[in-house]
Amino acid sequence: MKHLFTAVVMALSLQAASAIEVEGAKFDDKIKLGNADLVINGTGVRSKFGKRYVAVLYVGAKSADPKTVIESKGPKRVVLHLLKDGDGKTFSKAFSSGIKDNAGSGLAAIQDKVNAFSDVMLSLGDVKAGTVITIDFVPEKGTQVNVNGKPQGKEIPGEDFFKALLKVWLGDDPVQDDLKAGLLGKS
């Protein structure tokens, strides 16, 4: 009986510590953001002139439907683990372009928030391979960018902005089709 108990405890501890590895980067399969428990919805690799970053999407409940993920309530997290050196200017342009490509007539209503996010990205300066950028959305607070665990810039209020940001990867005109599929758990 004692051995059975030990085996069960070990199995549970292994399960609690499980992680997913993509391109050599490890990600917990479950995290806590605020008071919410989140799970990995999917992962993918952004490839433009080589592999740029691993993206991981954490949500409250998994879904393979992009609209369901975008419209889902509660906290969410996007993790970008850089595979190549980059810079804030490139990120700023890419995100602004991706939001514009997917926001349609809703862009004007969030333009100030897009500009604020762009400023945060610009403030990153040069970023090295191995850098981890997390973009967290917590409903009561807004969107917060962290680099290697340190907050960057001010929180950007409103769910509307984070939905527009998610569309960079999950919208009708995503930055990369197979990255969208991966973040939706389809690859």
Q: Using one digit for the tens of pLDDT, what is the confidence trace for 106-144? A: 999 999 999 999 999 999 999 999 999 999 999 999 999
CA 176/CA 156 separation, integer angstroms: 25
Position 62 scores a pLDDT of 98
What is the DSSP pairing of strand 142-147 with strand 132-138?
Answer: antiparallel
Q: Is the model's pTM score more than 0.85?
A: yes
Domain range list for the chain: 19-183
Q: In whole angstroms, give the CA distance from residue 19 to residue 130.
A: 17
The number of angstroms, rounded, from the C-alpha of 131 to the middle of its chain's C-alpha atoms is 14
The model's pLDDT over 20-75, given as tens digits with 9 standing for 90+, comes to 999 999 999 999 999 999 999 999 999 988 899 999 999 999 999 999 999 999 99
Q: What is the dihedral of CA 87, 92, 93, 94, to 10 degrees?
A: 90
Kindly state the tokens that stand for 24.
Answer: 């050599």
**Is the CATH number of domain 19-183 3.90.245.10?**
no
Residue 12: per-residue pLDDT: 47
